[in-house]
Amino acid sequence: MAAVLDSETPDSGAPVDLDTPVLFPKLLPWLLGICGTIGLIASFTLTVEKFELASDPDYVPSCSINPVVNCGSIMDTSQAAVFGFPNSLLGIAGFAALLAVAVMMGRTPQRFVLIGLQVGLTAALVFVHWLIFQSFYRIGALCPYCMAVWVAVVLAFWYVSLRTADHFATTERARRVVDRLISVHSVIPVLWVLVVIALITERFWYYWSTLL
């Protein structure tokens, strides 16, 4: 029996219909909608800031706060435009699509929607972690709007991955593994956030220590 984290629980004696969403049947669209909204706002703000900086070299972005938390130093790098245009434009398109999927999802997402969403978020997750590495160990600066995007992507990826696993878990062993993951669903994103905070603390300790 699939684990259910919602108010509607199937009868314990009834067989599980694998085409019926049982993982966050109501919460998942809302969670994706929140992630999509946060990511879209952050991406749009970054795009505006990027164009302002391009038109006025003396412009100071709103997220340039100190030598470490400094969007301006990131925007001037090649990593900020991997494909020849600002990465934030990818964010606008991607998070707008995520919002659209959240609205369409309802209670029974089609299989192709799940697969497409999973593929897109997996690519976004890989790209985000490459950007995290570049931000920490190559550029040496942090962007608050970028970090909001990181969190939104990780949360969306994790819960969509759980939903996908729940949908396709057809064997008893796979069912047990998925149910166990669902029962501790918040642990992975919390651990991820703690690891990122620890890396930020360690990487930029030379600056944080001067504020103590």
pTM of the model: 0.86
Residues 7 and 117: beta-carbon distance below 8 Å = no
Mean pLDDT computed over every residue of the chain: 86
What's the pLDDT band for 109 if we cut at 50, 70, 90? low
Rounded distance between C-alpha atoms, residue 97 and residue 76, angstroms: 27
In tens, the pLDDT along 192-201 reads 999 999 999 9
The answer on pLDDT for 190 being more than 70 is: yes
In tens, the pLDDT along 38-87 reads 999 999 999 999 999 889 988 999 999 999 999 988 998 999 999 999 99
Angle at the Cα of 10 from the Cα atoms of 183 and 33, rounded to 5 degrees: 60
Tell me the average pLDDT across 19-29: 63
Residue count (the chain): 212
Rounded distance between C-alpha atoms, residue 30 and residue 82, angstroms: 31
| Among the ranges given (125-129, 156-160, 164-168, 174-178), the one the predictor scored with the smallest mean pLDDT | 164-168
- Please, which residues have CB within 8 angstroms of residue 25's CB and are 6 or more apart in sequence? 4, 6, 8, 107
- Map residue 69 onto helix, strand or coil: strand
The answer on pLDDT for 27 being more than 70 is: yes
Residues 42 and 152: beta-carbon distance below 8 Å = yes
Residue 209 DSSP one-character state: G
Angle at the Cα of 85 from the Cα atoms of 80 and 90, rounded to 5 degrees: 80
Domain ranges of the chain: 27-211
The answer on pLDDT for 150 being more than 50 is: yes
What per-residue confidence (pLDDT) applies to 201?
Answer: 97
CATH code reported for the domain at 27-211: 1.20.1440.130
- Name the β-bridge partners of 69: 142
- Please, which residues have CB within 8 angstroms of residue 134's CB and are 6 or more apart in sequence? 77, 79
More confident residue, 5 or 181: 181
| Among the ranges given (18-32, 34-48, 80-94, 196-210), the one the predictor scored with the smallest mean pLDDT | 18-32
What's the pLDDT band for 9 if we cut at 50, 70, 90? very low
Backbone angles phi, psi at 76, to 5 degrees: -85, 0
Count of H-run helices and E-run strands, the chain: 8, 0
Rounded distance between C-alpha atoms, residue 125 and residue 115, angstroms: 15
What per-residue confidence (pLDDT) applies to 37?
Answer: 97
**211 token code pair:** 């504020």
The answer on pLDDT for 18 being more than 70 is: no
